[in-house]
Amino acid sequence: MPLTVVVGGFFGDEGKGKVISYLSLVDKPDICVRTGSINAGHTVNLRDRTWKVRIIPSCFPNEETRLMIAPGALFSISVLMREIDETGSRGRVWVDYSSGIIEDKHVEAERRDEYLMKTIGSTGQGVGAAMVDRVLRRLKLARDFEELRGMLIDVPREVNESLERGRLVIIEGTQGTFLSLYHGTYPYVTSRDTTASGIISEVGVSPRSVSDIILIFKAFVSRVGAGELPGELKPEEAEARGWVEKGTVTGRLRRVAPFNIDLAKRAVMLNKPTQIAITKLDALFPEARGRRKWGELPTEARKWINNISEELGVPVTLIGTGEDALDMVDLRGESQ
């Protein structure tokens, strides 16, 4: 019963959409489950097309994969419907009865809160306000909305039955380890636990069911909003290195810093991954761009990857070398 959990290793923006869309095409999962909420966007690039999704699972490029939204997830109905149309996934998106629904009042409450918007740097999507209502047991759930009736399903049952049949399930985490409400740079964090253990709890599967945990790091560190960022570069330094990025949801410039091995080691401690994925290798080694075989990577790039693997004590199995989902060096089952 293969169950793969995909987790962000830093502060989000590590390339989870790229890795998961690649896995959808190569590994062909039966089910992909999205956790988290609409304050985290995942970007999928495939064959000169780009999608930015906030609640639809990033496995949508595989038309055979069932796309599910976890009972622990929070979303707005308008965002869901728009993404179903944009991704052409109508008829294969399923929502758990207990998924939480963000309403306009939650967005308005959050955007009126100066502490959240200015000090913390909230995305202003109503997620925190909706989570408060959920804790107080007054949040409306998916089962309360007529427009979702035809999409409702028991996600924990579907996932566990698929696993019992020996089919692959991918659980898609959001944001990153150090935005975790419990393990992140509090108070500059999100409203949930974003580590592997928190992610699977949102879906309704046992930790004993997990086969693989893929922890994703980008070749440099970035974060949106306030909070500490060790080694942060000045904007002009980031531009000189070609590391200028904008957040998928907010459009704000991401703050950036070089790869931080100490942060990575702590992320490994918190998540206990079986594999590591590194994205944007081409940002450090431009000659690696678009390469799809280990032997095609520059010597220095291979040394850098091997050093990361040795330092962390976990094999690096997936290496992103470009924007397209298929620009990937896949070392699973191979010796370097």
Beta strands across the sheet bearing 316-320: 152-153, 93-96, 66-69, 31-34, 169-172, 3-8, 212-218, 275-279, 316-320, 328-330
Provide the whole-model pTM. 0.94
Question: In the CATH scheme, what architecture does the domain 3-330 have?
Answer: 3-Layer(aba) Sandwich (3.40)
Question: Domain residue spans in the chain?
Answer: 3-330
pLDDT value at 336 more than 60:
no
Q: What is the pLDDT of residues 177-205, one digit of tens each?
A: 999 999 999 999 999 999 999 999 999 99
Is 321 annotated to bind a ligand? Reply is yes
Of 30, 42, 193, 330, catalytic:
42
Is 313 annotated to bind a ligand? Reply is no
Rounded CA separation 87/246 (Å)? 22
Rounded CA separation 243/245 (Å)? 6
Is 255 annotated to bind a ligand? Reply is no
In sequence order, the 6+-apart residues with CB closer than 8 A to the CB of 136 are none
Task: Assess whether 193 carries a catalytic annotation.
Answer: no
Say which DSSP state 187 is in.
T
User: Can you read off the two tokens belonging to residue 271?
Assistant: 């998540």
The Cα angle at residue 172 between residues 293 and 317, in degrees rounded to 5: 25
Number of neighbours of residue 113 by Cβ within 10 angstroms: 16
Of 13, 133, 324, 330, catalytic:
13
Q: What is the pLDDT of residues 81-130, one digit of tens each?
A: 999 999 999 999 999 999 999 998 998 888 877 667 666 667 778 888 89
Closest CA to 222 of 249, 186, 195, 259: 259
* Predicted local distance difference test score (pLDDT) of residue 120: 65
Rounded CA separation 259/263 (Å)? 9
Task: Assess whether 13 carries a catalytic annotation.
Answer: yes
Q: What is the pLDDT of residues 9-57, one digit of tens each?
A: 999 999 999 999 999 999 999 999 999 998 888 999 999 999 999 999 9
Is 249 annotated to bind a ligand? Reply is yes
